[in-house]
Structures are given as C-alpha cells and as structure tokens.
Structure 1
Amino acid sequence: MRIGFIGLGNMGSGMAANLVSAGHEVLAYNRSPDKVSALAERGAIPAATVAAACDADVVVTMLADDHAVEAVTFGDAGILASLQPNAVHVSASTISVALAERLTTEHAQAGQRFVSAPVFGRPDAAAAAKLFVVAAGDPGTVADLQQVFDAIGQRTFEVGQDPTVANLVKLSGNFLIASVIESLGEAMALVGKAGVDKQAYLELLTSTLFAAPAYRTYGGLLARGEFEPAGFAAHLGLKDVRLVLAAGEALEVPLPVASLLRDRFLTLLAGGGRDLDWSALGALPAWEAGGPKPGH
C-alpha cells in the first residue's frame, strides 16, 4: 500500500519504520528534515511537503496535539486540499473529540474517508510494532486498513463506526494512566518515607495486587526516578487531561479526579517539569513530603 506518513516524533518514527519494514511504500514528511533522512535510509520516500505526502492511498498523521493536526490538515496545501477522493486520512494522534468530529465531517464533504486510530504504548512499543490500536470509522474502511494496523501494532480494537469514539476511548485510557501515576506516587512517598525500598515495594505490588503493565512501567520509572528523556512529556499529559475534562463537560459527566490531575500537572509544570516524562507527576508527593524535586 502507498502510505503518506506525517509526524516522525518519538512515536511516529518507529511506526513509519515498521510500515517500511512491512513492505509498504511510505512517503514521509516531518518539519525536521533530519528525521525524514534517517527514515529514507531505511527505504522511505522523502516528501518535501504535506501535499506530497498525500499522493497516496492512505495518509497517517501522528502529531502532538490538535494545533499540529489542524496545521497539516486545513489550508490550501493541507491534507483536505491534497488528498484524492476516496483516499483515507488515519489520525493516530491523541486529539480532542471535537477535532475528530470536525475531521470526520470535513473529509466526508470532500469525498474522502477518515478513521481515528489512536494508539496505546510508549516509544519502545512503537519501535517494536507492539502498539495497541484503537480504531473507529466505517467498518469497510477499517478492514481495508488492517494491514496498516498489523504493521504497527500487536492488536487492533474496533470500537465503533463514529471516529470520535476512538478518541474518547484513548483519552479515557490516558486519564486512567495518569491516575495510576498519581496514586502510585502517593503510595511510594508514604512507604518510602518510612524507609521501605521503592523497588522492593513495587515488586510486591506487581506480583500480588497490580500486575498490569501500567503499574510495572510507571512504577519502575518512579522507583528509579527515571524521567529523562521523556517518552511522553508532562505538558502533553496536561493537554490530555484537559481534553478529558472538555469531553466530560460536553457529555455532562463530572470527572473530579481528572480535575485534581489537571492541578497536579500544573504543579509539575510550574516547578520546571514541563519536558520531563509525565511519570514525574508521581514524584510530586515525595517532593512535597520533603524529598528531592522531580528531575533533580
């Protein structure tokens, strides 16, 4: 399949490389050309512009936020203007439900297809093609894209025909991860101040009550104080919690824990933690209890 790929950041670079490895013809675009050059060495075709990357059956966007997706989609030389009729825009980014709704409507009006397919997994999972894909859109289109999803992930979950549902599910998952990080940080601060070894405590937790990957991954980062380089930066965590709150407001669903997490992320960013991994959120309780500042 001929695939345009826009966004070669921590996640996108691994995803695009796996599409190349799977035998797809990948047209790669990124604002930083060095990342395109690195992927070209593996067999990708450099695309000088967004429009050039849209000369494909499918274009995948993997970008940081709503603003970045809007910047490449709308406008005279954006995806909407450049993609051929019946071609597909796959948004793998974690974006707002409102933007997903707008993309669904405007692509349909342009005679194009749109599928939301955000992913769960950190950059190491992206590089290893072990992501979990959450897909929503026209069932036939999603089926046509299965070979794309198989190249980047270990399993695809179809959650409905409305693309916005995939974005809501993704945001809800990130909300739960942030909740885990905060609660783990509080528990570790409590036992750590009493002299309990954090790594040993984590081993106890993940061998008994909480064996889920989120506890192992983020508990390990917390126990080691390993917040740089960021797999997912704290400011993006704040962005996602704000999107969760916006979705809750639109659906009239109170989310009091999400409100707390927003304030906790603001505390982390105010203390200089903007570019730390979002797991540094869990280091705030120990700092507030007299320990070192996150990232120091």
Structure 2
Amino acid sequence: MKVGFIGLGHMGAGMAANLLRANHDVAVYNRTRAKADALVALGATTAASIAEVARADVVISMLANDASVEAVVGGEQGVVSNLAPGAVHISSSTISVALSEKLAAAHHDAGQLFVAAPVFGRPDVAAAGKLFIIAAGAPDSIAIVQPLFDAIGQRTFIVSETPKVANLVKLSGNFLIASVIESLGEAMALVSKGGVDRHQYLDILTSTLFNAPIYKTYGTLIADGKFEPAGFAAPLGQKDIRLTLAAAEDLRVPLPLASLLRDRFLTLLAHGGDTLDWSAIGQLAAMDAGATEEWYRSKEPAPSPTH
C-alpha cells in the first residue's frame, strides 16, 4: 500500500519503520528532515512537503497536539487539499474530541475517508510493533487500513463508526494512566519516608495485587527517579489532561481527579519539568514530603506563554 507518514517523533518513527518492514511503500515527512535518515535506510522516501506526502492511498499523521495537526491538514498545501478523493487519512495523534469531529467533516466534504486511530504504548512498544490501536470510522474505511494496523500493532479495538469516539477513549485512557502515576507516587512517598525501600515496595505491589505492565513501567521510573530522556514528555501529559477535562465539560461529566492531575502537571511544568517524562509527577509527593531532593528548586520556571 502507498502510505504517506507525517510526524517522525518518538512514536511516529517506530510506526513508520514497521510499515516499511511490512513491505508498504512509505513516504515520510517531518519538519526536521534529518529524522527521516534512519527510515530512508530502511527503504522510505522523503517528501519535500505535506502536499507531496499526501499523494498516497493512505496518509497517517502522528503529531504532538491539535495545533500541529491543524497546521498539516488545512490550507492549500495541507492534507485535505491534496489527498485524493477516496483516499484515507488516519489520525493517530492524541487530539481533542472537537478537532477529531472537525477533521471528519472536512474529509467528508472533500470526498475523502477519515479514521481516528490513536494508540496506547510507549516508544519502545511502537518500535516493536506492539501498539494497541483504538480505531473509529466507517467500516469500509477501517477495512482498507487494517493491514497497516496489523503492521504497527498487536491488536486493534474498533470502538465506533464515529471517529471522535476513538479520541475520547484515548483521552480517558491517558487520564487513567496519569491517575496511576499520581497514586503510585503518593504511595511510594508514604512508605519511603517510613523507611521502606521503594524498589522492594514496587516488587511487592507488582507480585501481588498490581501485576500489570502500567504499574511495572511507571513504578520503576518513579522508584529509579529516572525521568530523562522522556518517553512521553510532561507537557504532552498536561495537554492530554486538559483535553480530557474539555471533553468532560462538554458532556457534563465531573472529573475531580482530572482537575487534581491538571494542577500536578502545572506544578511540574512551573518548576522546570518540561523536558521530563510525564511520570515525573509521581515524584512530586515525595518532594512535598521532603523525602527526596527537590531538583526543581534549582531550575528556572518555564516562561509564561505569550499571546
């Protein structure tokens, strides 16, 4: 299948590599062109523009946020203006429910197909082709792109014919992950200050009631205090909680814990945590308790956004 891939960050690079290994014809586009070099060595071609990469049977976008997605989809050089009628855009980015709905309408008006397919899994999982794909869109559209999902993931969950539902599921999942990180951090701060080794405590948890990958992965990061390099950067975590709260407000669903998580991420970012993995919020409880070095005290706060 002829595939255009937009966005070669930590997740996108691994996804594109697995499409190449599955013998798909892949053209890639990234603002930093050097990020394409490793994929070119695997057989990819580089596109000079969004318009060029959109001349494919399927275009996949894997970008950081709503603004990045809107920048590549709209305009004369964007995906909607250059994707052929009947071709498919797969949005794997974690974006707002509102933007997903907007994208579906734009592609429909252009005679194109749109599938929302955000994924669960960190960069190492993406590189291994073991992502979990949350897909939503017309059944015929999903049938077209299922071979691509098979190349990048271990299982596809089709949740709706309405694309925005996949984005709602993805946001809710990231909310749950952040909730686990926060609760793990608080529990570890408690036992650590009481004299229990954090790694031993994690072994107890994951050998008994909490034998799940999420506890092992994030518990290890918190126990080790290893938050760099970031597999999923803290500003992206803050963004996802913000989008979760926006979706909840539209649906009139109170999410008190999500409001707490928003403030935890803002605390982390306000004290210079922008380059850290989002699991670093799990260290805040220990810092609040005076149980670990307050690394952020020596950092300059991130500059305020300009308008």
* TM-score, scaled to structure 1: 0.99
Partner amino acid, structure 1, of 2:40 = A
Instruction: Tell me if 1:218 matches 2:218.
Output: yes
The alpha-carbon deviation at position 274 of structure 1 amounts to 1.2
Instruction: Tell me if 1:167 matches 2:162.
Output: no
Please give the alpha-carbon distance, in whole angstroms, between the structure 1 residues aligned to 2:270 and 2:55. 43
* Aligned counterpart, 2:191: 191
Which structure 2 residues correspond to residues 88-127 of structure 1 after superposition, within 5 A? Answer: 88-127=88-127
* Aligned counterpart, 1:28: 28
Please give the alpha-carbon distance, in whole angstroms, between the structure 2 residues aligned to 1:211 and 1:78. 45
Q: Is the 8 A contact 1:14 1:123 kept in 2?
A: yes
Q: Which runs of 5+ in 2 are unaligned?
A: 299-307
Q: Is the 8 A contact 1:280 1:294 kept in 2?
A: no
Structure 1 runs, 4 residues or longer, greater than 4 Å off: none
SS at match of 1:135: strand
* Aligned counterpart, 1:8: 8
The alpha-carbon deviation at position 37 of structure 1 amounts to 2.1
Instruction: Tell me if 1:52 matches 2:59.
Output: no
Q: Percent identity?
A: 65
Q: Is the 8 A contact 1:284 1:294 kept in 2?
A: no
SS at match of 2:63: coil
* Aligned counterpart, 1:135: 135
* Aligned counterpart, 1:253: 253
* Aligned counterpart, 1:232: 232
Partner amino acid, structure 1, of 2:265 = F
The alpha-carbon deviation at position 294 of structure 1 amounts to 5.2
SS at match of 2:151: helix
SS at match of 2:95: coil
* Aligned counterpart, 2:151: 151
Q: Is the 8 A contact 1:186 1:285 kept in 2?
A: yes
Please give the alpha-carbon distance, in whole angstroms, between the structure 2 residues aligned to 1:151 and 1:42. 15
Instruction: Tell me if 1:293 matches 2:298.
Output: no
The alpha-carbon deviation at position 212 of structure 1 amounts to 1.5
Please give the alpha-carbon distance, in whole angstroms, between the structure 1 residues aligned to 2:135 and 2:73. 19
CA deviations 1:56-85 (Å, max 9, x no partner) are: 000000000000000000011000000000
Please give the alpha-carbon distance, in whole angstroms, between the structure 1 residues aligned to 2:6 and 2:79. 10
Please give the alpha-carbon distance, in whole angstroms, between the structure 1 residues aligned to 2:88 and 2:259. 36
Partner amino acid, structure 1, of 2:196 = V
The alpha-carbon deviation at position 293 of structure 1 amounts to 2.4
Partner amino acid, structure 1, of 2:242 = R
| Of 56-65 and 36-45, the range deviating more from structure 2 | 36-45
Aligned residue pairs: how many?
A: 296
Q: Which runs of 5+ in 1 are unaligned?
A: none
Partner amino acid, structure 2, of 1:94 = T
Measured on the aligned residues, the alpha-carbon RMSD in Å equals: 0.9
CA deviations 1:245-273 (Å, max 9, x no partner) are: 00000000001100000001000011111
Partner amino acid, structure 2, of 1:39 = L
Please give the alpha-carbon distance, in whole angstroms, between the structure 2 residues aligned to 1:35 and 1:266. 30
